[in-house]
């Protein structure tokens, strides 16, 4: 929508060219409406027929704040409203994610922004008939569970996921367990210390204040608070690092390499024809690329450099041990390797990075054109 461009929905996903018709009749009822409406009920009938119902198209207040009947009844009393206004106290009749502990607050967002599965067939049927039972403020998802790779919870459900879709985990996670598809940020956040603190609302806001520095149009693309598209997002908690940032980053202040976000939340997630920052805070390594195929932060910025170059820098600066590297890793740019022999996700992320201004600043741009042109022949529509 930002580009005001129409695109075949199937072409925006990383799907092999011979997939055929990916979306069948009724697919919206069976998948999309789980998150893109408020209290959706697909109410399957037969074949491709549904008697689908929704409480509201899009996300209404109830999605984040819970049912409001008690809240409305209590606040008909103007004295109660005035007392709450004067004291600034919490209103116990309504859920407010901003006042919840980090994990509960994050789950309000994560009820949709996560990789989840139903706890069993009975829960799936109940969901389809009556909608979700989850209420904001609860500590766990009702009827569902957040699927993290490598976990030992829900063994029967994990086995069923693997049996019905052998690519379930590989399509959604990199080899080291980091999420590789957009809209699933809770999974990454849960694996980060931020999860126990302010979680999502440390950086994001759902109700932009009037006169905010960022225009509403800009806010609509990421729901970030003012200033949270910069190092302020990290330094609001990590204040000590700000004293010696150059020594910590080994990059000049104000440069792309001196950015907390570029190193610790690199663009390793794909979705909607663009790269998105990982929400699992991590430190760059070469090993994540050699062993788990995930592009590392250094080579997503220094597109002209090899993995060996990155290993040498990380070893000198942070004492990281250099993994075993191939001849290509010593002689050919990591980005070029990902373009010519990487999987579709790697190719999509790298070609997006080639159009990213900070990467062009670090690596130059004229040499990129032949490689970008090569991607126009890519069999995956999302890449070309």
Cβ-contact 202, 223 below 8 angstroms = no
Rounded to whole angstroms, the Cα distance separating 286 from 218 reads: 34
- H helical segments located in 45-179: 61-65, 69-74, 78-87, 102-110, 121-130, 155-164, 168-172
DSSP string, 59-95: --HHHHH---HHHHHHTTSHHHHHHHHHHT---TTS-
Instruction: Calculate the CA dihedral of residues 318, 310, 270, 110 and round it to 10 degrees.
Output: -10
Note the pLDDT of residue 246: 84
What per-residue confidence (pLDDT) applies to 18? 84
For CA atoms 120, 171, 106, 220, the dihedral sign is negative
| Sequence-separated contacts (24+) of 260-265 with Cβ below 8 Å | 260/231, 260/233, 260/234, 260/235, 261/230, 261/231, 261/233, 261/234, 262/297, 262/301, 262/358, 263/297, 263/298, 264/234, 264/297
Q: Which 3 state secondary structure label does DSSP give 261?
A: helix
Q: How confident is the model at residue 20, as a pLDDT?
A: 79
What is residue 200's DSSP assignment? G
Cα-flanking dihedrals φ and ψ of residue 109, to 5°? Answer: -75, -40
d(CA 61, CA 147): 26
pLDDT in tens, the chain (384 residues): 777 888 888 888 898 888 877 777 778 898 889 999 999 999 999 988 899 999 999 899 999 999 999 999 999 999 999 999 999 888 999 999 999 998 999 999 999 999 999 999 999 999 999 999 999 999 999 999 999 998 899 999 999 999 999 999 999 999 999 999 999 999 999 988 788 776 799 999 998 876 555 678 788 888 998 889 899 999 888 888 877 788 889 999 889 999 999 999 999 999 989 999 999 999 999 999 999 999 999 999 999 999 999 999 999 999 999 999 999 999 999 999 999 999 999 999 999 999 999 999 999 999 999 999 999 999 999 998
pLDDT score for 214: 66
H-helix segments, 173-226: 185-190, 216-222
Cα–Cα distance measured from residue 184 to residue 258, given in angstroms and rounded to the nearest whole number: 27
pTM: 0.91
CB 95 within 8 A of CB 66: yes
Q: Within 13 Å and on the Cβ side, how many CA atoms surround 267?
A: 22
Q: What pLDDT is stored for residue 244 in this prediction?
A: 79
Backbone angles phi, psi at 4, to 5 degrees: 50, 50
Tell me how far apart the alpha carbons of residues 43 and 172 are, in angstroms, rounded to a whole number: 28
Q: How far apart are CA 267 and CA 357, in angstroms?
A: 13
Q: What share of the chain is helix, strand, coil (3-state, %, to 5)?
A: 45, 5, 45
**Cβ–Cβ under 8 Å, residues 374 and 339:** yes
Count of residues making up the chain = 384
If one counts every other C-beta atom within 10 angstroms of the C-beta of residue 252, the result is: 11
C-alpha span between 267 and 300 (Å, rounded): 8
């Amino acid at each position: 929508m930002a580009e005001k461009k129409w695109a075949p929905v199937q072409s925006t996903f990383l799907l092999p060219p011979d997939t055929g018709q990916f979306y069948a009749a009724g697919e919206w009822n069976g998948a999309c409406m789980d998150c893109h409406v408020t209290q959706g009920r697909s109410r399957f009938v037969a074949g491709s027929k549904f008697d689908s119902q929704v409480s509201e198209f899009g996300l209404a207040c109830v999605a984040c704040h819970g049912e409001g009947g008690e809240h409305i009844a209590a606040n008909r009393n103007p004295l109660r409203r005035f007392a709450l206004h004067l004291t600034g106290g919490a209103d116990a009749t309504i859920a407010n994610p901003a006042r919840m502990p980090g994990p509960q607050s994050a789950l309000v967002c994560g009820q949709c922004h996560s990789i989840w599965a139903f706890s069993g067939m009975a829960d799936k049927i109940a969901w389809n008939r009556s909608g979700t039972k989850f209420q904001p403020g609860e500590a766990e998802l009702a009827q569902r569970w957040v699927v993290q790779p490598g976990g030992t919870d829900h063994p029967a459900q994990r086995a069923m996921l693997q049996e019905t879709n052998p690519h379930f985990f590989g399509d959604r996670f990199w080899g080291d367990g980091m999420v590789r598809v957009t809209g699933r940020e809770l999974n990454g956040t849960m694996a980060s210390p931020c999860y126990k603190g302010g979680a999502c609302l440390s950086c994001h806001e759902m109700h932009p204040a009037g006169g905010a520095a960022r225009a509403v149009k800009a806010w609509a693309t990421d729901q970030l608070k003012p200033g949270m598209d910069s190092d302020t997002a990290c330094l609001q908690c990590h204040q000590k690092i700000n004293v010696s940032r150059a020594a910590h980053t080994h990059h000049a202040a104000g440069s792309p390499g001196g950015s907390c976000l570029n190193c610790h939340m690199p663009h390793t997630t794909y979705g909607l024809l663009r790269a998105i920052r990982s929400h699992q805070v991590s430190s760059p390594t070469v090993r994540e690329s050699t062993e788990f195929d995930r592009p590392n932060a250094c080579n997503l910025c220094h597109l002209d450099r090899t993995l060996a170059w990155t290993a040498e820098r990380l070893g000198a600066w942070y004492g990281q041990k250099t993994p075993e590297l191939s001849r290509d890793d010593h002689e050919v740019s990591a980005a070029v390797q990902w373009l010519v022999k990487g999987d579709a996700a790697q190719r999509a992320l790298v070609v997006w990075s080639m159009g990213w201004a900070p990467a062009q600043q670090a690596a130059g741009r004229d040499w990129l054109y032949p490689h970008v042109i090569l991607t126009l022949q890519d069999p995956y529509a999302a890449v070309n």
